[in-house]
């Protein structure tokens, strides 16, 4: 659940909506939003593709009919000069024997990856690896084993080799000769060399990322993780949606179960592996980061099983390690990025040690020199360091708690400077000299824009101002207000309201409330999006409300730490405080409130419906119904081990409170959900039946954690709309 499934938001300013030309009657329909063949597209226009090259030139990339063109752009005059190394990639691919239709599909995937200075790109075609070489204007096949899948391929830093996975081992192909070599052996059903297992992928390194190997800067070595899964329990998804049954078996450690045993090795180009020592022999640990220093020394970050500390370790030539620093916490420590080293051997370190995410300077002896940034705000991402001028560039929420801005600060912590003026969510891309940056941004009320700025934040050129999509301009959209709501102890919780276009404060309205509620996973974000579901509901006479409880607000770990070992309890208290604010507004019908959530939001909805009587109906999507049923790494970070916190697990359980269900619920779950297992829903239903409680159920055959596909989504939204109309 590290990546939440959120209901996406779009907000249009009242002035814009009122002045727009009418499109039909200005009303949305469910078919316009979701029907597979009748739905409309309300997406904004794509932004111009801009990037910096190694010479700090601004490059625009265009692609049409398989032809990629790049232009050098003068930021001052916006004069464009065609680069000589243009490439008709379609012609290259068809010349290599790839049919035109399939070549165009490959080009669609490759084009967003193309950068000004990189001339070599990998792609997979018919289970083999291929190389697109723009320098030579050729496409060629690198492997010749169509019966075996190669995945997670990555070029070496010197672009002479490519490393990849076949099954559960690492292989290497020399690009010049296209000869293949196997670097690791022993990979099988329970041994993964260089491939992440399920729980490391989902909760540590990032959903969808399976690569567990990292090239050394000199291209002569590869660090990798090796997983022993033999003790990890197997969970089976039966696959009843097809005949014959297509089962999926995944080694999945639930809270308290054995985790995989993991070790860190380094393999050279001959296939010889050197294993690093285990500095925590006899203790259960996690290896949460692996990388290299600029001069080729191995780095790794380790945590204890329940993630109360994090150690950064540096390895010598014999792969013995020393601890450079330790992070600890009154609750849990988040996985942190590896340090950013400077030319003199000192480094910048990101830490949540104060309860807020800030930067710290360490000297060449790895001793703390001091904080670079501080305050009741958080750094969101670090762009880089201009060592010549002694400045760090980063994004932070210092001004806007639900967005971010671009900042610069001196390495000694002086002269904090905000470089962006318009409020919203910004994404900056600096050139390597840190003289200019490309900024793309949007806000709740502002569609995406893109401009080039100098290092002082002065706009050089507004490149894109995409505006409101034409199809949206005639719609009678909700009036949206943003507000902060005080919890009982004074914490300011962020909130959004979608009010009906003809809102009358003297009337009473039913309320559709959406939440996620999971730690550091806010739903109230100052960013544009084109999903109109909440506007549709507002047109139908519902007030739509979204509020982040404190632990979900992403306002620093300090705001989330109080939920440690007691998931559900404080989140519900905050949501009930929000309802009290709503009641005081006078126009909400407090006897007609619906609650909606998916994943952690599904847990929170089912928890709220079984631990309070405040909501009349609930939409419960893919819920964790008892945290003993969820994975070890996520759950134990927040709850500790079940055997050491039985009371906290019991109080956070929906299963144990099923007898107290109040109101009507619709449960939704994909039958092949390998994240929040259907077991959660089945066991919940079993308890509801035993306690004489009614429920509605929507299953999605073959669907995973987030149901996908036009017809599945259409079925889901129809069912939700009917349930809402009939029961609220």
Residues known to be catalytic: 599, 673, 705
Check residue 137 and give left, alpha or beta (phi > 0: left; psi -120 to 50: alpha). left
DSSP letters spanning 85-100: --EEHHHHHHHTT--H
Cβ proximity of 261 and 227 under 8 Å: yes
The Cα diameter of the chain in Å comes to 78
Neighbours of 667 (CB within 10 A): 24
Cβ proximity of 217 and 157 under 8 Å: yes
Rounded CA gap, 365 and 149, in Å?
45
- Among 208, 223, 151, which residue's Cα sits nearest to residue 143? 151
Q: Is 276 exposed, middle or buried (0-12, 13-18, 19+ CB in 10 A)?
A: buried
- CA–chain centroid gap for 60, Å, is 27
151 forms bridges with which residues in the sheet?
165
Token readout for 647 is 């009371």
418 forms bridges with which residues in the sheet?
407
Q: What is the CA radius of gyration of the chain?
A: 27
Question: Coil, strand or helix: which one is 650?
Answer: helix
Q: Name every residue whose Cβ is closer than 8 Å to that of residue 99 and which is 6 or more positions away in sequence.
A: none
> How would you list the strands of the sheet with 479-486, edge to edge?
479-486, 492-499, 543-547, 509-514, 588-598, 617-621, 664-670, 696-700
- CA–chain centroid gap for 655, Å, is 29
461 forms bridges with which residues in the sheet?
452
Rounded CA gap, 146 and 148, in Å?
5
- Among 690, 633, 696, which residue's Cα sits nearest to residue 664? 696
- DSSP type of residue 631: B
Cβ proximity of 9 and 525 under 8 Å: yes
Peptide bond preceding 244 in cis form (omega within 30 of 0): yes
Rounded CA gap, 327 and 634, in Å?
19
Q: Name every residue whose Cβ is closer than 8 Å to that of residue 697 and which is 6 or more positions away in sequence.
A: 666, 667, 668, 681, 685
497 forms bridges with which residues in the sheet?
481, 545
CA end-to-end span of the chain: 29
In Å, how far are 623, 695, 724 from 594, measured between CA atoms? 16, 15, 8
């Amino acid at each position: 659940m590290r990546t939440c499934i959120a209901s996406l938001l779009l907000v249009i300013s009242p002035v814009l909506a009122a002045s727009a030309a009418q499109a039909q009657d200005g009303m949305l329909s469910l078919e316009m939003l979701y029907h597979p063949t009748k739905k409309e597209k309300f997406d904004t226009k794509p932004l111009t593709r801009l990037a910096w090259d190694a010479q700090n030139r601004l490059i625009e990339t265009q692609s049409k009919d398989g032809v990629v063109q790049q232009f050098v752009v003068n930021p001052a005059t916006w004069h464009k000069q065609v680069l000589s190394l243009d490439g008709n990639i379609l012609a290259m691919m068809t010349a290599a024997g790839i049919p035109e239709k399939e070549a165009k599909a490959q080009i669609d995937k490759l084009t967003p990856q193309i950068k000004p200075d990189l001339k070599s790109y990998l792609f997979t075609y018919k289970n083999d690896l291929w190389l697109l070489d723009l320098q030579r204007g050729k496409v060629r096949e690198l492997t010749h084993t169509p019966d075996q899948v190669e995945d997670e391929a990555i070029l070496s830093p010197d672009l002479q080799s490519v490393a990849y996975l076949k099954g559960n081992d690492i292989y290497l192909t020399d690009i010049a000769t296209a000869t293949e070599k196997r670097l690791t052996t022993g990979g099988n059903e329970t041994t993964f060399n260089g491939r992440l297992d399920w729980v490391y992928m989902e909760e540590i390194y990032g959903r969808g990322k399976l690569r567990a190997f990292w090239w050394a800067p000199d291209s002569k070595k590869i660090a990798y993780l090796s997983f022993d899964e033999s003790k990890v329990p197997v969970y089976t998804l039966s696959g009843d949606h097809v005949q014959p049954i297509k089962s999926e078996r995944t080694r999945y450690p639930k809270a308290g179960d054995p985790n995989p045993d993991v070790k860190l090795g380094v393999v050279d180009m001959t296939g010889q592996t050197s294993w690093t020592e285990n500095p925590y022999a006899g203790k259960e640990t996690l290896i949460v980061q692996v990388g290299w220093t600029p001069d080729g020394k191995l780095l790794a970050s380790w945590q204890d099983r329940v993630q109360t500390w994090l150690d950064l370790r540096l390895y010598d030539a014999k792969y013995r390690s020393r601890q450079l620093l330790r992070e600890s916490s009154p609750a849990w420590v988040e996985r942190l990025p590896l340090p950013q080293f400077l030319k003199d051997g000192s480094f910048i370190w990101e830490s949540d040690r104060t309860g807020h995410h800030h930067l710290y300077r360490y000297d060449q002896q790895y001793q703390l020199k001091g904080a670079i940034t501080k305050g009741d705000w958080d750094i969101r991402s670090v762009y880089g360091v201009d060592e010549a001028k002694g400045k760090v560039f980063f994004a932070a929420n210092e001004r806007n708690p639900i967005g971010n801005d671009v900042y610069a600060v001196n390495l000694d912590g002086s002269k904090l400077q905000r470089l962006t003026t318009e409020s919203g969510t910004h994404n900056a891309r600096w050139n390597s000299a840190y003289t200019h940056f490309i900024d793309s941004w949007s806000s709740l009320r502002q569609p995406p824009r893109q401009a080039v700025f100098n290092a002082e934040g002065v706009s050089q050129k507004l490149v894109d101002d995409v505006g409101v999509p034409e199809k949206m301009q005639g719609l009678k959209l909700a009036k949206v207000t943003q507000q902060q709501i005080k919890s009982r102890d004074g914490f300011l919780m962020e909130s959004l309201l979608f009010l009906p276009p003809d809102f009358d404060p003297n009337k009473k309205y039913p309320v559709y409330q959406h939440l996620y509620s999971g730690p550091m996973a806010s739903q109230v974000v100052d960013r544009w999006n084109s999903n109109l579901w909440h506007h549709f509901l507002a047109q139908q006479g519902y007030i739509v409300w979204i509020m982040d409880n404190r632990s979900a607000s992403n306002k620093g770990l300090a705001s989330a730490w109080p939920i440690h070992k007691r998931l559900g309890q404080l989140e519900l208290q905050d949501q009930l405080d929000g309802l009290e604010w709503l009641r005081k507004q006078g126009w909400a019908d407090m006897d007609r409130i619906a609650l909606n959530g998916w994943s952690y939001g599904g847990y929170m909805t089912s928890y709220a419906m079984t631990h309070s009587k405040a909501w009349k109906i609930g939409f419960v999507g893919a819920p964790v119904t008892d945290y003993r049923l969820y994975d070890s790494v996520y759950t134990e970070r927040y709850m500790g081990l079940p055997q050491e916190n039985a009371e906290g697990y019991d109080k956070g359980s929906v299963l144990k409170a099923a007898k107290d269900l109040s109101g009507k619920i619709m449960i939704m779950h994909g039958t092949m959900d390998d994240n929040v297992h259907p077991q959660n829903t089945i066991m919940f239903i079993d308890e509801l039946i035993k306690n004489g409680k009614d429920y509605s159920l929507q299953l999605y055959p073959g669907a995973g954690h987030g149901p996908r596909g036009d017809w599945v989504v259409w079925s889901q939204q129809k069912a939700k709309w009917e349930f809402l109309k009939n029961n609220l």
